[in-house]
Structure 1
Amino acid sequence: MLLIRNLIYWLILTISLITLFPFMLLGALLPVGAHPVALLWVRILNASLKHIIGLKYSVTGAENIPAAPAVICAKHQSGWETLALQEIFPPQVYVAKKELFKIPFFGWGLKLVKTIGIDRNNRREANEQLLKQGLARKNEGFWITIFPEGTRHPPGTHGKYKLGGARMAKMFEMDIVPVALNSGEFWPKNSFLKYPGTISVVIGKPIAHHSGSEAELMAQCEHWIEARQAEITGQGPFAPKQAV
């Protein structure tokens, strides 16, 4: 039954993406942009996850979301957060590897919603792309979402927190909003199957962009996120064994 539900989800994802893509193209030509269409697609997928797979989420700390655009620094365990964060926070753009732009429809859609594409194999160029494109998006009124570890990491583990998010925060005078989540316990990395349950999302108080150096800001962010991770780890079927 789980397999059938997942097949239905993937069918909805594919059909809705192809169906809505022409409207994204049209939106990109209008002042409103392609984001409203992209958000509609995200809501279709989140509703499908909830009602077909049985995968829900709960948010703690929503009152910490500031009024002014900020840099969202979130834990990255699966593809789920790339969908849900768009529903939880105001209009935003992501920082992603530019290779994703080559994926038919999905990658093209990323470009239409002005995703910040970086070359992760060229650190210097990546920093230049991050700052140039990030400033443009900030001036357009968007929030900026970045996964400071750079790539997905299994539950119970974490990678090195890179300074890109803190650098943008300092350069653009945008505060950092840290986000912890345990999506990988229900949506394992590279897994076709998604599993029912309730993903926990915890949003922290903004870290002021003027409250320290780049390294100090990211250290604050990392400390807060990893402390919250320890509190919410162990809730899903793919939780680390020691946490179960």
Structure 2
Amino acid sequence: MTTETSASGPMTHRGSLVRGVLFYTGLVVTVIIWAIISLPSFPLPIRWRYWWITRWCDLVAVLLRVFGNIRVNVEGLEHRPATPGVVLAKHQSAWETLNLLPWFYPQTWVLKRELLRIPLFGWGLGRLDPIAIDRGASREALRQVIEQGERRLAAGRWVVVFPEGTRVLPGEKVRYQQGGALLACRAGVPVTPVAHNAGEHWLRHGWRLRPGVIQVRIGPAIDTTDKSPAEVIRATEAWIESAMETLPTAPR
């Protein structure tokens, strides 16, 4: 891109690459260490092991600040419902899979079953009781989201769903899927939409990190009473995509 061919561009590119290498090295080292020291927590009740295992997410936030010079600013905390519901969030990077936790705690993620097969990381992830689905079996996956999601909500946990289904590059749009909206309608809980620009800083591909501020915007809860999943997902998509247009982009 033009910014990388300017006088300062190559230096910026190399700097962001160095930041990324240091960050990912720290990520691998800490996940190995944390997974090992978390093994004794596996037999404990979910509340205790959940608290302990998710402390690693705090370490990730520290690594981002130290090596990536990436901070987080959140707006709209006043919009959060008083009781847990379904969170439908933009999906641009790995950041939002780990770092929405401070504002929606405790939470359950809807994620790919393959992640549980990753040595050490997957073992710890599995002990957090996620909703692990086979994306190749769409009907069975939807049944799992509804049945397990209702149980997690009844247990007082937020259910975080990424309605795009996969990470999407900044500026790109894909069709939102209705699974999370269907769960919210069935369970009679509101949907909380979340927009952010994490993909501008923690990139989907490659090793580079871009310094700056990840802007997170939490929208007003969407009431699901007497609404169809299609209506709820349309309202969610409209709010998120509108908010995305106002979030800053990072220098390339």
What TM-score comes out, normalization by structure 2 length?
Answer: 0.88
* CA deviations over 1:17-46 (Å, ceiling 9, x no partner): 122214433323112342212321000110
What SS is found at the alignment partner of 2:54?
A: helix
State yes or no: 1:28 paired with 2:52. no
Paired residue for 1:178, among 164, 169, 193? 193
State the Cα deviation string for residues 126-155 of structure 1 (Å, max 9, x = none): 111112221222232210000001001111
Distance, in Å, in 2 between the alignment partners of 1:190 and 1:45 is: 18
RMSD: 1.6
Larger Rg: 2
2: CA distance, partners of 1:70 / 1:24: 28
Q: Which moved more, 1:77-86 or 1:130-139?
A: 130-139
Partner of 1:229: 244
Contact 2:185 2:227 (C-alpha < 8 Å) held by counterparts: no
Task: Indicate whether 1:195 and 2:210 are aligned.
Answer: yes
CA distance in 1, matches of 2:170, 2:17: 23
Residue of structure 2 in register with 1:18 after alignment: 32
> Identity across aligned pairs (percent)?
37
Q: Determine the C-alpha separation between the residues in 2 that align with 1:97 and 1:52.
A: 28
Letter in 1 for 2:30: S
Which of 18, 23, 32 aligns to 1:9? It is 23
Q: CA deviation at 1:6?
A: 2.7
CA distance in structure 2 between the aligned counterparts of 1:151 and 1:87, rounded to whole angstroms: 23
Contact (CA 8 Å) 2:18, 2:208: kept in 1 or not?
no
Q: Provide the residue aligned with 1:109 in structure 2.
A: 124
State whether residues 107 and 158 of structure 2, in contact with CA within 8 Å, keep that contact through their aligned partners in structure 1.
yes
Structure-2 residue corresponding to 1:84: 99
Distance of aligned partners of 1:224 and 1:192 in 2 relative to their CA distance in 1, 3 Å threshold: same
Structure 1 unmatched ranges of 5 or more: 239-244
Offset at residue 184 of structure 1 (A): 1.1
Amino acid at match of 2:129: K
What whole-Å deviation, never above 9, does each CA across 1:85-135 have from its counterpart, x for those lacking one? Answer: 112322101101111111112222221111111111111111111122212
- Unmatched tracts of structure 2, length 5 or more: 1-14
Out of 117, 142, 145, the residue aligned to residue 130 of structure 1 is 145
Deviations 1:157-183 (A, max 9, x none): 111111111111011222100001111
